[in-house]
Amino acid sequence: MKRQDYTDANRQAWNETAPVHAKSQMEGLLKNLQNPAHLCLDEIEQGWLTKAGVQGKDVAQLCCNNGRELISIQRMGAKRCFGVDISKAFIDQAEQLNAVANADCNFLACDVYDVPAKYDAQFDLVYISIGAFGWLPDLTGFLAVCARLLRPGGQLLIYEMHPILDMIDDMPNLPPKLGYSYFMTEPMAEDDGLDYYEGQDYESSTSYWFHHKLADIIQGCLDLGFRLTDIAEYPHDISEVFAYLEKMEARLPLSYVLLARLGGE
């Protein structure tokens, strides 16, 4: 399959998922975001966003889903906030949340590889959050989009699921069963839905999940002229899927943060 074929399949699957997630999450989000002090960010995110310096900065989030994190970033003091997601249905939810939160984030339903050139060099920070990389068939192409959106000296902040989790099969059993190679290159196909909140199975179009090793993500940044400034790994789950692994005495890395700056010494 070509990249566009994977993109089209995943777009359809996410558009089908949007009403499922809305049923379980939207009411709570709409209520919570009416409170101007409410942030849809955990303490780790808030700490790293503060370190990256969001106050007064222009921020883009690729694969922004329903925009709740970007709205929260604006509440932390960011200036211009721009979110992109492949799913028009989730962008529609983002617009709803944006209105209720009295925010002025801008959202675009678009394949992240096709973000228009008018957005190039317009941002101080590009933020990548939970579960974005797995939907990206072309890692290098995606990181190149991140780089072109940034002004010289801009930063890339990634807070993601640890790629070691892609090895696990037969969830949620302990100890975990390793069913996939860390070095796999073929995407994993799923057709039982994408409801990571309630775990509801429903008839879904086939979606494709792509594994990217941590080394590939780091090297991809370096190859595009990013300078790695910080990296950290954490034993807590941010995916709504692997929290059961936090109970293990032999702790696994479940999430990580990467902060890099474009150019510079």
Query: What's the pLDDT score for residue 200?
Result: 57
What value does the mean pLDDT take over residues 64-71?
Answer: 96
| 180 Cβ contact partners less than 8 Å away, ≥ 6 residues apart | 166, 167, 168, 169, 188, 211
Using the predicted structure, report yes or no on whether residue 248 has a pLDDT greater than 80: yes
| pLDDT for the residue 205 | 77
User: CATH code at 185?
Assistant: 3.40.50.150
pLDDT at 196: 46
The residue assigned the tokens 């057709």 is 191
pLDDT digits (tens, 9 = 90+) for 129-175: 998 999 999 999 999 999 999 999 999 999 999 999 999 997 888 99
Task: Count the Cβ atoms, other than its own, within 10 Å of residue 65.
Answer: 24
pLDDT band for position 240 (50/70/90)? confident
Q: How many whole angstroms separate alpha carbon 245 and alpha carbon 176?
A: 8
> How many domains are contained in the chain?
1
Q: Show the domain range for 188.
A: 3-262
- In tens, the pLDDT along 184-224 reads 999 999 876 454 444 555 566 788 999 999 999 999 999 99
pTM: 0.94
Dihedrals phi, psi of 93, to nearest 5 degrees: -65, -40
**Residue 65's pLDDT is what?**
93
